[in-house]
Amino acid sequence: MSTVAQPVTATESSARQSVTLAGALNRALGDALEADERVVVFGEDVGPLGGVFRVTDGLAARFGESRVWDSPLAESGIVGTAIGMAMNGLRPVVEMQFDAFAYPAFEQITSHLAKMRNRTSGRVGLPVVVRIPYGGGIGGVEHHCDSSEVYYTHTAGLRVVTCATPADGYRLLRQAIDSPDPVIFLEPKRRYWSKETAELTVDGPALHEARVVRPGRDVTVIAYGGMLATALEAAEMGRAEGYDLEVVDLRSLNPFDDDTVTASVRRTGRAVVVHEAAGFCGYGAEVAARLTEQCFHHLAAPILRVTGLDIPYPPPKLEAHHLPNADRILDAVARLQWEDEPGA
């Protein structure tokens, strides 16, 4: 992996507008196609249909079938084709229709896409973006609601990012397409239709940086993707219980922004990590380990995790019991050894 992501040099911006996450991602793809003729977009049904979630809506008509096209239903072939294109100077952006649909492409991603730069001693980079709608909360079933982030974060050579809001989705996707490294771009399906009034611009945190989205005094709640809004909901509910929660949006899962996250935890002295994926060997385990190693003498309580259950993704009627919610986050906050506080 290149050590530093190349910055997006052009700054496209627009007036503030009400936009959904899906709309912001569509805008990012359109602006990238407009700005760089090397960018191509392909995948299953991304052409005239505009994708299952309409993220590519209108792009095929606007840029033509030589820039945006439908692929066969063969995920391994999609990524393998993108690798070949990138080796010959293009910047492919491919879509895996659902999270678990990407598993047939796993060998191409982990054995070739991630390894090529190291395999060639830095001579061949692969600027490929693999977009993956992921996570639950849409009433889907298994293969349509997986949180598969750790499969990719465990693979050296991949950047793994996930967006949580429309404005940051636009910024992250433009930065990912501009990166010289392969990027796994995770899109939380449950937030595709969430709206925000914002200016869509590449200005802001870099591709590898986390951000504090809500300052607080008592506990750092660390979240990403679809769980960021849930963490913010918990923070608002926590006011009534006397907790002032700081919320950090990780954005980049690999590399991990140690500076931003450890600064927050050292300030609050307590931390809760939230994600949809199963807890056992989940991403939160890595976060808790890193923070313990770097913040041990600042911690007033063990770092806790609020995660999905250690089960295959449940049927739609049961997913509310599986997915973390604000009440479960506040239950974890209440278990952070407040009884040890002076005067408690």
Q: Rounded CA gap, 135 and 253, in Å?
A: 15
The model carries a pTM of 0.94
Two tokens at 246? 């700081």
In the chain, the percentage of residues whose pLDDT exceeds 70 is 95
- Provide the 10 A C-beta neighbour count for residue 115: 17
Buried b (16+ CB within 10 A) or exposed e, 158-168: bbbbbbbbbbb
Write down the pLDDT at residue 337. 87
- Token pair recorded at residue 99: 């999270």
Q: Helix crossing, 227-240 with 326-334: angle to 10°?
A: 60
Q: Which residues of the chain have pLDDT under 70?
A: 1-14, 343-344
Across the strands, what pairs with 252? 161
Contact 99, 226 (CB under 8 A): no
Q: Is 23 exposed, middle or buried (0-12, 13-18, 19+ CB in 10 A)?
A: buried
Q: Exactly one of 143, 144, 208, 298 is catalytic; which is it? A: 144
User: Which pLDDT does position 8 carry in this prediction?
Assistant: 41
Quote the radius of gyration of the chain (alpha carbons, Å). 20
The structure tokens 């490294």 sit at 181
Active site residue 144: yes
Distance CA 41, CA 30 (A): 10
For residue 15, give the H/E element and its range. none
